[in-house]
Structure 1
Amino acid sequence: MTEASRIARTKVAGVDVSTAHWIDGRRVPSNRTFEVFSPIDGSHLANVSAGGAEEANAAVAAARRAFPAWAALGPQGRLPILKRFAEGIVARKDEIAAVETLDNGSLLSRNREGAIPRAAHNIDFFAEWAAKRQHATIDSPTVTNHVRYDPSGVAVLITPWNGPFMLTTWKVGPALAAGNTVVVKPPEWAPLTCSLMADIAHEAGVPAGVLNVVQGIGEEAGAALVNHEEIDRISFTGSTDTARIIGQAAARTITPVSFELGGKSPFVVFGDADLDAAARTIAGQYNNAGQVCLAGTRILVEQSIAEDLLGRVRKQVDAGKVGDPREGGTKVGPLIHPEAFARVTGFVERALADGAKPLWGGKRHDFGDLYFQPTLLTDVRQDMEVVQREVFGPVLTWQTFADEEELIEMANGTRYGLAAMLFTGSEKRAWRIADRLVAGSLWVNCFFVRDLAAPFGGSRNSGIGREGGDWSMDFYCDIKNVSVLKKSLA
């Protein structure tokens, strides 16, 4: 370890975290840094190396050099290394959870019990999936078609701040399992657990250059990576506006992209639904301070049960504690950053000025600077900004409908199509509505549950492509068909 690398370290929640990049199997600090603060209390956590073109070039070059040997291992050769990677995540679950909570303000209990174990499962699942996947054979009268799944090369993976560790492994898992090498660009508002991930991968035996981490601001490090001539895939989770910029860069080099973007998802409740279950799930949309792309932020309720359901939701919301995400019982923590707080506040203030009324909430919570009250707005029109655009905070809207036709028009009446939630007791209605809703994921009488083998992604402005199972593997592979003339080979 060089002297500069030794200095580029910090303690976060008692955990030793490197603030340098991870490139070609070693820590590489930069002369420039950016500051990271905890949204919980504004405390300074670290000065993190700020990369740019130099670090991006070095990381892509390292990944390119490492690619042939990693690809040549094949799925079975990569399997034991990736399984050790997953085991290493499990072994350090509590440390990762503690750092993530301080870094982005998410609930400690959910990180420890849900997000970090799921991250380990992401690595393990795709390693097993790749090892079991068979090349396909398609027979025809004159030739036999052999379909092969070849790793594509170097993948750039850009991940968001609302669940950086888990969502990074959601990309790293299939990319590495398919035989690619990767360069991860962590979110600048919450980069620290991706640094831990690099350490864990190294300890598991992931070879130098196979997994690289370049930290920095999106306009610098991110832009240098997505514009690089020597990359083969770009996977991005984040805002629709940023995806447009990345898409332009990818178009220049004709680099395939996978985008999981924003949402403005409808949460639909019919009169024949289990209203208590619906109310609990609606209140759950405030989780992570509403900073969840999948959240059902537009509550659409059948008129006949609107008053009854509203009272039940209010009871659930009132029982939820706003406060320090490290404390048991907390349901809603802080927004990630002052910019995020200003954005959420602006949406609410403009909505109120445009005629919306708060059923509850609507302003800063007394607990701290970045804490916003769980908010529900009514008297909103379909054309209002707060109905049409993603707020990404603890702000929901409340609308009623008279019949299914009106519901479909309202539910599909935005440019998004990421998810939808539907609560009803009628199977026929569930399938009838499901056929007409524009959404990549639809949950019926549940929320946030999905097998990793199933597809995930968005329609319209909510994304391009699908992740999960074969959909992930197909994206990270060059699919090749070898047609062999029958009886032509000895």
Structure 2
Amino acid sequence: MTARSSSAHVAEVEGVRVDTRHWIGGRRVASDATFTDVSPIDEQSIADVHAGGQAEVDAAVTAAREAFGTWAAMPVKQRADILRAVADGVDARRDDLAMVETRDNGSLLRSHLRGVMPRVAMNFRYFADLAEQISHPIDEIRGHRQRVSYDPAGVVAVITPWNAPLMLATWRIGPALAAGNTVVLKPPEWAPLTASLLADIANDAGLPAGVFNVVQGSGARAGAPLTRHPGINRLSFTGSVPTAGVIAEAAAKNIVPLSFELGGKSALLVLDDADLDLAVTLAVEQFDNAGQVCLGAFRVLVHESLHDEFLQRVLASASALVQGDPRDEATDVSALVSRPHFERVRGFVERALADGARAVLGGGPNDDLGGLYFRPTILVDARPGSEILTEEVFGPVLTVQTFATEEEGIALANDTRFGLAATLVTGDPERAERVSARLNAGTVWVNCFFVRDLGAPFGGNGKSGIGREGGAWSFDFYCDVKNTVFAPHGWHAVEGGGDS
């Protein structure tokens, strides 16, 4: 059990001191109310975190608005240099960030050290570099000069989930700040602590007061007043479809543009010419982060000619996964994030089994470990159209279905209201082009999985979200894109002619 500090405002988590107050206007702000932060590893309390509401949100938005003018007017190179200093600070505290987030949300420590925290730093560096490189093209139009420019929009509200809290937050914070906006972050109440550490890092890097603010708390008390606040100009949210509907309704009253990433029910489509070893590897990769990955391909669709051998190999490989404490280097699958989420995942599986599905692997809690550890599970024979095949479980649960023809496989892959991602395995390059073009998803991986570039567009179709972020697409969202047309020098008359 992690030791707790005697200070009312500081928790000691894995030997790292974390201030549990909000960060508003360049200083720590306390609230009368707190909430208990529980670690998924052992369901022990690790911190009493200050819980904000309307007053803290008002203060944070006010601070962000007051800081906006100076930050937006700062030369882009100076802004970029500060963000690179933030990235350096993330690198310097990589171990602290990794250990705290592992304790906070239960994800693997080795993943945080090797991939997640380096990506956090990259989120700042990449967009700092891009802000300096982005062009403001000037074109000639009927003797006039036309210039496209990117003006910062104002105050950006960022609301992020618990499965990768710091990485997903900085994926939005990085471009928002690089574009010249100021930010109010509402971190997830199930994993809020690394957001507080980021505030310290940003402050140490010289980010001016009010440019970045953190208000902690529940969605109802802190998230709701932020989403409906008239002082915000952009809102980026990652989470569930029902919550997104509530947020969209609140933001609509102030005509606030939205960027939503809302999860999925993605398919892993294994055609009859697939490399089986590769297909098995990709299927087992879906158990990463205990299945708490929005991009995961949890509907495995296998050509009927390959099904028996594929399933045999997948069972052998998945059975070898080690489940346990995420701080252990040997662990492959850890716990689910919270007791409510654990019960939600268990409910999905129990209802699927009652509806006729069979568990060929797992199927319930890991009784040897207890707590929030749910066994990696593979279900077959699920009824077409059943809940387990249509709703996002967000846990270590795969379903396996078969198909007879390429056309049927594509139809099954697209038979979802979501459209975040899809993964295709085939040995034929021409077939890869043909089938991938017909898959309804914002991202399609062919013979690979989870290969992401910060310059690529990211987002989902259907119920998986609204908009795209990444590369210049991020600046399209976090900026007001302006077109300015100049008459020839010395002209005073207005030349008409309409659009062309």
Name the TM tier (shorter chain): over 0.9
Quote the offset at 1:489 in angstroms.
5.9
1:32-431 alignment runs, 5 A limit: 32-366=33-367, 367-431=369-433
Q: What secondary structure, in the 3-state scheme, does the structure 2 residue paired with 1:330 have?
A: coil
Q: Among 432, 435, 459, which residue is 1:433 paired with?
A: 435
- The normalised TM-score by structure 2 is 0.96
Distance 2:7 2:234 in 1: 33
Quote the offset at 1:143 in angstroms.
2.1
Task: Check whether the contact 2:236–2:259 (CA below 8 A) recurs between aligned residues.
Answer: yes
Q: Among 463, 466, 469, which residue is 2:468 paired with?
A: 466
The C-alpha deviation readout for 1:289-334, integer Å capped at 9, x for no partner, is 1000000000000111111111111121011101111101211100
Q: Which moved further from structure 2: 410-419 or 142-151?
A: 142-151
Task: Check whether the contact 2:271–2:406 (CA below 8 A) recurs between aligned residues.
Answer: no
Distance 1:11 1:489 in 2: 68
- CA separation of 1:142 and 1:381: change in aligned 2, threshold 3 A: farther
Quote the offset at 1:486 in angstroms.
2.3
Distance 1:259 1:181 in 2: 19
Quote the offset at 1:271 in angstroms.
2.2
Distance 1:394 1:74 in 2: 47
The C-alpha deviation readout for 1:363-418, integer Å capped at 9, x for no partner, is 10121210101111111133100101000000111000101111111111110000
Quote the offset at 1:134 in angstroms.
1.4
Q: Among 443, 446, 453, which residue is 1:444 paired with?
A: 446
Task: Check whether the contact 1:74–1:179 (CA below 8 A) recurs between aligned residues.
Answer: no
Which amino acid is the alignment partner of residue 296 of structure 1? A
Query: Structure 1: any 5+ residue segments left out of the alignment?
Result: none
The C-alpha deviation readout for 1:235-279, integer Å capped at 9, x for no partner, is 001111111111101111110000011100000111212211111
Q: What secondary structure, in the 3-state scheme, does the structure 1 residue paired with 2:366 have?
A: coil
Distance 2:220 2:136 in 1: 40
Which amino acid is the alignment partner of residue 415 of structure 1? R
Which amino acid is the alignment partner of residue 389 of structure 1? E
Distance 2:384 2:209 in 1: 52
Distance 2:399 2:8 in 1: 48
Distance 1:6 1:181 in 2: 31
Which amino acid is the alignment partner of residue 99 of structure 1? V
Task: Check whether the contact 1:20–1:29 (CA below 8 A) recurs between aligned residues.
Answer: yes
Identity %: 55
Quote the offset at 1:6 in angstroms.
6.3
Which amino acid is the alignment partner of residue 447 of structure 2? N
Which amino acid is the alignment partner of residue 370 of structure 1? L
The C-alpha deviation readout for 1:102-155, integer Å capped at 9, x for no partner, is 000000000011000000001000000001111122221142211110000000
Distance 1:257 1:323 in 2: 38
Distance 2:38 2:260 in 1: 28
RMSD after superposition: 1.2
Q: What secondary structure, in the 3-state scheme, does the structure 1 residue paired with 2:431 have?
A: helix
Q: What secondary structure, in the 3-state scheme, does the structure 1 residue paired with 2:86 have?
A: helix
Q: Which moved further from structure 2: 358-367 or 14-23?
A: 358-367
Which amino acid is the alignment partner of residue 483 of structure 1? V
Q: What secondary structure, in the 3-state scheme, does the structure 1 residue paired with 2:195 have?
A: helix
Quote the offset at 1:75 in angstroms.
1.7
The runs of 4+ residues in structure 1 deviating greater than 6 Å are none
Distance 1:221 1:138 in 2: 45
- CA separation of 1:105 and 1:200: change in aligned 2, threshold 3 A: same
Q: Which residue of 1 aligns with 2:3?
A: none
Distance 1:396 1:247 in 2: 31
- The normalised TM-score by structure 1 is 0.98
Quote the offset at 1:356 in angstroms.
0.8
The C-alpha deviation readout for 1:150-203, integer Å capped at 9, x for no partner, is 000000000110000111110110000000000000000000000000000000
Higher helix share: 1
Q: Which residue of 1 aligns with 2:496?
A: none
Which amino acid is the alignment partner of residue 459 of structure 1? N
Which amino acid is the alignment partner of residue 473 of structure 1? F
Quote the offset at 1:7 in angstroms.
3.2
Quote the offset at 1:77 in angstroms.
1.7
Task: Check whether the contact 1:153–1:180 (CA below 8 A) recurs between aligned residues.
Answer: yes
Task: Check whether the contact 2:153–2:233 (CA below 8 A) recurs between aligned residues.
Answer: yes
Distance 1:487 1:154 in 2: 36
**Number of aligned positions between the proteins:** 486
Task: Check whether the contact 1:382–1:410 (CA below 8 A) recurs between aligned residues.
Answer: no
